[in-house]
Amino acid sequence: MKGRGCIQVLVMSNTILELHMTGLPGAGNISICHWLRTQVIWKQSILLLLGRQERNSTIPMTVTGPRIWVCCCMVMVVSQGRALCMRHCISVPLKTTPLVGQYISWSTIRLLSLLIQEWRQTFHSDVVVDIVCYRRFGHNEIDEPSFTQPKMYKVIRNHPSALEIYQRKLLESGKISKEDIDKLNKKVSTILNEEFQNSKDYVPNKRDWLSAYWTGFKSPEQISRIQNTGVKPEILKRVGEAMTTLPENFNPHRAVKKIFYQRRQMIETGEGIDWAVGEALAFATLIIEGNHVRLSGQDVERGTFSHRHSVLHDQETGEQYCPLDHLVMNQDEELFTVSNSSLSEFAVLGFELGYSMENPNSLVIWEAQFGDFSNGAQVIFDQFLSSGESKWLRQTGLVVCLPHGYDGQGPEHSSARLERFLQMSDDNPYVIPEMDPTLRKQIQQCNWQVVNVTTPANYFHVLRRQIHRDFRKPLIVMSPKNLLRHKDCKSNLSEFDDLAGHPGFDKQGTRFKRLIKDQNNHKDLEEGINRLVLCSGKVYYELDEERRKTERTDVAICRVEQLCPFPYDLIQRELKRYPNAEIVWCQEEPMNMGAYSYINPRLLTAMKALGRGGIEDIKYVGRAPSAATATGFYSVHVQEQTELVQKALQRDPINYPF
């Protein structure tokens, strides 16, 4: 730490908190009171400190700058060695002997709080405060801490509490009398007892938990009308041209220059819109509407698969250029934030979750490098994202993009563990909720949404849907890999707009399609269809190609784009359309993974309501149960993928698993 010019240790001695600063002229121990009162020392030391401190963060747009590490030692035992903090915090040398009986007063903590506030307002950087305390009793009613720490708790039992020490100091100062203290104690005890009695018949109102920024948002008990997400064609053209235009004096990589030329052609012709352009259009249209868009994750600026290119680098000067920061004249660059993050999924996802809960008018997205990398953040999914609204009545519209798909990349780069997110979904598989569009609260009453989208236009609409609704709900996206450049995974610009008669426009308008029906223009009743294959994700394109190759005009293929909550109404619409069809669920994941376990009981519920049979009438096509998500051999992958696609379209009836 020598020469870094930072606050290295904040230690406590009786009631005086001391600062030990290194790398500063005349460094030594000075009391915080003196430091705060001496403006010359404050200005010179901190400015020098700021100048010498590296204001670099490997995670832009999250936390930057110097830190204050506060170690308030009361009754504790410190093991021999050093405390190694997070890389942006300070490495604090620890004494090898116990620190016993030391105490920091509440008034000193108040002074410290003032220092922290002034630091943050002056230098716009974070301050870490670690108050190390002690536990007077066990961690629950049946725990006895002296079982394992007899010496420490002998000291603790004889040590006055923080309240007793502070009361004594106030009395010694003569600023307050014993009667005043008794009145305060009685007042607080009365308040606590009254609130305890009131809690016995308290019924929480979810609307009470929406903070100021959330004014006007609906609770799950209130109906939120479904809104269109299409955009006027002239706006799509305008932002499309802006986001594909580079400055004349900018020198992009020749491959990137070609990509942006192709993107401009897509916008001008209105055809062949790929995944990256569809996403950029979603971001751009939200930005010009005044919404903040924030994207973070590993390599998100370029895109893990080199498809996004949201930040370009001049090949001669190294200068950076972000097209989405220049959609309109004098655009506020803070409206779009894209930030490569570190490889700590747990930390970054937790930060983005908190960000999304603070500002509901931001589209906040965290993207994993590969979908299975999200297991490094499993605590956030389990304890916060999946259950936060149920436990704390707090909404969040966080979007999580997890690249998913079986392309032969092995067990560590194939599956985003779709089954885990579906298993944590709280919708009842045996009850069909109200599905009338004017009364539907299905998504509001579910803990989150899980989608596996197959077209750029549908991805555009599902992102815009996150903002264009009166409530917020987490969105888990099984984002594609090879579909990013697939020849058939394209959309026309007319699928993004709001004009009647254009593709994607129905009687409600243009919006996200929870289910995409068969693309062969079937009538409302097709008795000649012998098999209905339901699937989700990129396996659809392989099934469709095989169907064309084998000329299976008697097979219908429907894509379930929104898996959770389950689209009962649309599934039943397709079941009615094909009354004589064998019903098949096809997936590329193993049987014990993917969506099968989630789909099976819900599809059965939808079928029973129509009298279409029982569980044995749902056929399965996919990989066999497996401990590993995928094979590590590409040749085996190709064989497995070919077999499952051919089986889904075989002419003989499918008898698996029954």
Q: How confident is the model at residue 393 (pLDDT cuts 50, 70, 90)?
A: confident
Determine what percent of the chain is predicted with pLDDT higher than 90: 55
245/228 Cα distance (integer angstroms): 29
- In this structure, are residues 460 and 496 in contact, taking their beta carbons and an 8 Å threshold? yes
Greater confidence (111 vs 475) lies with 475
- The two tokens of residue 625 are 């149960």
Confidence class for position 2, pLDDT limits 50, 70, 90? very low
The more confident residue out of 314 and 223 is 314
Q: Average of pLDDT values for 628-653?
A: 94
pLDDT level of residue 19 (50, 70, 90 thresholds): very low
pLDDT in the model for residue 267: 95
Contacts of 614 by beta carbon, 8 Å cutoff, 6+ apart: 604, 607, 608
On whether the CB atoms of residues 33 and 109 are closer than 8 A, the answer is no
Highest mean pLDDT among 154-163, 336-345, 535-544: 535-544
pLDDT at 210: 60
> Token pair for residue 38?
């001496």
Residue 477, pLDDT > 90, answer yes
pLDDT value of position 601 = 96
Beta-bridge mates of residue 20: 9, 29
Q: Which two tokens stand for residue 97?
A: 């002997």
Residue of 218, 288, 215, 303 whose CA lies nearest to 256: 303
pLDDT of residue 207: 58
Name the phi and psi angles at 63, rounded to 5. -125, 135
| CA-only gyration radius of the chain, Å | 30
d(CA 300, CA 369): 8
Question: Rounded to two decimals, what is the model's pTM?
Answer: 0.80
All structural domains of the chain: 64-175 (no CATH), 235-496 (3.40.50.12470), 524-649 (3.40.50.11610)
pLDDT tens-digit series, residues 552-577:
999 999 999 999 999 999 999 999 99
Residue 392 has pLDDT above 80, yes or no: yes
For residue 60, give the amino acid letter: P
pLDDT score recorded for residue 206? 60
Q: Do 399 and 477 form a contact (C-beta atoms < 8 A)?
A: yes
Residue type for 77, please? Answer: V
Residues 555, 202: Cα–Cα separation, whole Å? 56
Contacts of 541 (CB under 8 A, 6+ apart): 454, 483, 486, 488, 489
Please give the Cα distance from 583 to 608 (Å, whole number): 13
Do 358 and 213 contact (CB within 8 A), yes or no?
A: yes
- Residue 506 vs residues 495, 496, 502: alpha-carbon distances, Å: 11, 13, 9
101 phi-psi bin (left φ>0, alpha ψ -120 to 50, beta other): left
DSSP state string for 583-642? EEEEEEEETTSTTHHHHHHHHHHHHHHHT---GGGEEEEEEPP-SSSS-S-HHHHHHHHH
| Range scoring the smallest mean pLDDT among 45-49, 226-230, 266-270, 621-625 | 45-49
pLDDT reported for residue 333: 84
Query: Of 176-190, 217-231, 497-511, which one has max mean pLDDT?
Result: 176-190
Residues 6 or more apart from 496 whose CB is under 8 A from it?
A: 230, 231, 236, 273, 278, 281, 457, 460, 461, 504, 510
In whole angstroms, how far apart are CA 236 and each of 243, 266, 282, 327, 362? Answer: 11, 12, 10, 11, 20
Nearest to 12 by CA among 71, 85, 86: 71
Number of other CB atoms surrounding residue 449 within 10 Å: 23
Residue 477 phi/psi, 5-degree rounding, is -115, 120
Backbone angles phi, psi at 8, to 5 degrees: -90, -45
Place of tokens 């930057």: 64
Mapped onto helix, strand or coil, the DSSP state of residue 582 is strand
**Token pair listed for 8:** 């290295």
The single-letter DSSP state of residue 385 is I
Angle at Cα 46 formed by Cα 43 and Cα 50, nearest 5°? 130
Spatial separation of the C-alpha atoms in residues 554 and 276, rounded to whole Å: 34
What pLDDT score does 105 carry? 67
> Does pLDDT of 460 surpass 70?
yes
pLDDT tens-digit series, residues 335-372:
999 999 888 899 999 999 999 998 888 999 999 988 88
Q: What are phi and psi of 515, to 5 degrees?
A: -140, 135
pLDDT grade, residue 112 (50/70/90)? confident
Distance between CA atoms of 539 and 403, rounded to whole angstroms?
Answer: 14
Residue 65 has a pLDDT of 41
pLDDT tens per residue across span 255-293: 999 999 999 999 999 999 999 999 999 999 999 999 999
Quick check: 562 and 537 in contact, CB under 8 A? no
For residue 349, give the nearest of 364, 334, 370 by alpha carbon: 364
pLDDT higher than 90, residue 111: no
Instruction: Collect all residues with Cβ–Cβ distance below 8 Å to 430 and sequence separation of at least 6.
Output: 601, 605
Tokens encoding 405: 């798909």
Averaged pLDDT, 144-156: 90
Contact 475, 462 (CB under 8 A): yes
356-366 pLDDT tens trace: 998 888 999 99
* pLDDT tens readout for residues 58-98: 445 544 344 444 433 333 222 223 332 322 233 333 333 33
Pairwise CA distance, residues 93 & 71, whole Å: 11
Rounded average pLDDT over 487-505: 83
